C-alpha cells in the first residue's frame, strides 16, 4: 500500500467533493479513487467521508486526517525538491492565506504570472480576514498585516505602507472637511475591527505633536470589504491603508484628508507555520508578492516610522 498515494487521493476527493472530481484531477478512473479511499478507511479503521446524494463531506476524523495529509504531502514535495537540487522546478501544491480585499486588489490580478512561471505548481488561495491557525488549515504561507502579536512565528517583512484618512467627496461636501484630527469627533466614522487599537482610537502625528482621537462611530465592520463598501456609500470617514483604497484614491472616488498629519505605518508580512521550515514554494511566493508590492503599492512617506522587525526572518 502506497500510503502517500492514498493520502493524495483522499485529499483530492475532499477538495473536489466527489470521487469523479478527484479522478479527473488525478487522471485515473473513478473506481480507482473509490477503492483507494475505502482502502485508507480500512487501514485507519475509521470512517473518513460521509456519502450522500449531494456529494462527499469529511467526518470529524476525516477533516483532521485531511489537514494532516496536506502537511505530509507538502513535506514529501519539499524532500523531492531538496533531492533534485536548488534549481529544480517548483511542483506540487502551495496553500496561501490572505485577507480578502488585499488579495483581490494586489495578489490575484498578478497571480497568472506566478502560475505561468511555475507550470508544475498548483496554488490554493484561502481568503480570510481572520488570523486562522496555519497548521490546522494546512497553510504554507500567509500574508498578514500589522502587529503579528505572536513572536514565535517565523515571518518576513515584504512591504511597509501608509495609513490614510479617507472619505468620499460627497460625504465631505455634505458634512465638511475636518481641519484637525480633533474634528473627527463630529463626524461619522467607519472602523475596521481588525485594525483599531485596543483602546478604540486613531493616533496622529505632525512634527513633535502627537494626538490620539477616540473612535466613536456607529459603524464597526469585521471585514475590509465592508469598510470599503461603507465609505464608498458615503457613510463616513475611515482610517485605512492605502493598499485597501488604492483604486478609489487613484480614480478620485475617495479623497485622502488630514494629509498634513501621519498615522502609524502598516507592515505586510509573509508568515510561515510555527515549528516548520518554510518551503521553497512558500519562499518563492513571498518573493513574488514582495516584487508586486514594490511596483503596485504606494511608497510610504519618508517621515513615517516603520514598525520594528521583531520577528525572525525566513
CA distance 249 to 116: 31
Question: In the prediction, which pLDDT does 297 show?
Answer: 46
Q: What CATH code is assigned to 89-159+266-314?
A: 3.40.190.10
Per-residue cell: 209 = 505633536
pLDDT tens digit sequence for 83-136: 665 555 788 889 999 999 999 999 999 999 999 999 999 999 999 988 888 877
Helical pair 30-44 and 3-16, crossing angle rounded to 10 deg: 110
In sequence order, what DSSP letters do the residues of 34-59 get, joined into one string? Answer: HHHHHHHHHHHTS--EEEETTEEEE-
- Residue ranges in the chain modelled with pLDDT below 50: 197-199, 297-314
Query: Which overall architecture, per CATH, does domain 163-264 show?
Result: 3-Layer(aba) Sandwich (3.40)
Which single residue is written with the C-alpha cell 489537514?
67
Question: In the prediction, which pLDDT does 198 show?
Answer: 41
Going 34 to 35 to 38 to 40, the CA torsion angle's sign is negative
The third-level CATH classification (topology) of the domain covering 1-87 is Arc Repressor Mutant, subunit A (1.10.10)
Contact between residue 205 and residue 152 where contact means Cβ atoms under 8 Å apart: no
pLDDT tens digit sequence for 188-217: 999 988 765 444 788 999 998 999 888 777
Domain layout of the chain by residue ranges: 1-87, 89-159+266-314, 163-264
Helices (H), the chain: 3-16, 19-26, 30-44, 60-84, 100-102, 111-117, 169-175, 224-232, 246-251, 280-296
Q: Where are the beta strands (DSSP E) in 77-153?
A: 92-98, 121-127, 141-145
Amino acid at each position: 500500500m502506497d500510503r502517500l498515494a492514498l493520502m493524495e487521493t483522499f485529499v483530492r476527493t475532499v477538495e473536489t467533493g466527489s470521487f469523479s472530481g478527484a479522478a479527473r484531477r488525478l487522471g485515473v478512473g473513478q473506481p480507482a479513487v473509490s477503492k483507494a479511499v475505502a482502502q485508507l478507511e480500512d487501514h485507519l479503521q475509521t470512517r473518513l467521508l460521509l456519502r450522500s446524494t449531494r456529494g462527499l463531506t469529511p467526518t470529524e476524523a476525516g477533516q483532521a486526517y485531511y489537514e494532516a495529509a496536506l502537511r505530509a504531502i507538502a513535506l514529501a514535495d519539499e524532500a523531492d525538491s531538496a533531492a533534485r537540487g536548488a534549481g529544480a522546478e517548483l511542483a506540487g501544491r502551495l496553500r496561501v492565506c490572505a485577507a480578502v480585499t488585499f488579495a483581490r486588489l494586489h495578489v490575484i490580478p498578478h497571480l497568472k504570472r506566478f502560475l505561468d512561471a511555475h507550470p508544475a505548481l498548483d496554488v490554493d488561495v484561502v481568503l480570510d480576514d481572520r488570523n486562522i491557525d496555519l497548521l490546522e488549515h494546512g497553510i504554507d504561507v500567509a500574508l498578514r498585516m500589522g502587529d503579528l502579536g505572536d513572536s514565535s512565528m517565523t515571518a518576513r517583512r515584504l512591504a511597509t505602507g501608509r495609513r490614510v484618512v479617507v472619505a468620499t467627496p460627497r460625504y465631505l461636501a455634505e458634512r465638511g472637511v475636518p481641519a484637525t484630527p480633533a474634528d473627527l469627533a463630529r463626524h461619522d466614522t467607519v472602523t475596521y475591527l481588525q485594525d483599531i487599537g485596543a483602546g478604540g482610537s486613531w493616533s496622529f502625528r505632525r512634527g513633535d505633536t502627537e494626538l490620539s482621537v477616540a473612535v466613536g462611530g456607529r459603524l464597526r465592520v469585521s471585514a475590509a470589504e465592508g469598510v470599503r463598501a461603507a465609505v464608498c456609500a458615503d457613510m463616513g470617514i475611515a482610517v485605512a491603508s492605502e493598499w485597501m483604497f488604492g483604486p478609489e484614491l487613484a480614480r478620485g472616488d475617495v479623497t485622502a484628508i488630514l494629509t498634513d498629519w501621519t498615522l502609524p505605518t502598516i507592515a505586510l508580512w509573509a508568515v510561515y507555520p510555527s515549528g516548520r521550515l518554510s518551503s521553497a514554494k512558500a519562499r518563492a511566493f513571498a518573493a513574488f508578492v514582495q516584487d508586486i508590492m514594490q511596483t503596485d503599492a504606494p511608497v510610504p512617506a519618508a517621515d513615517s516610522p516603520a514598525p520594528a522587525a521583531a520577528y525572525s526572518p525566513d
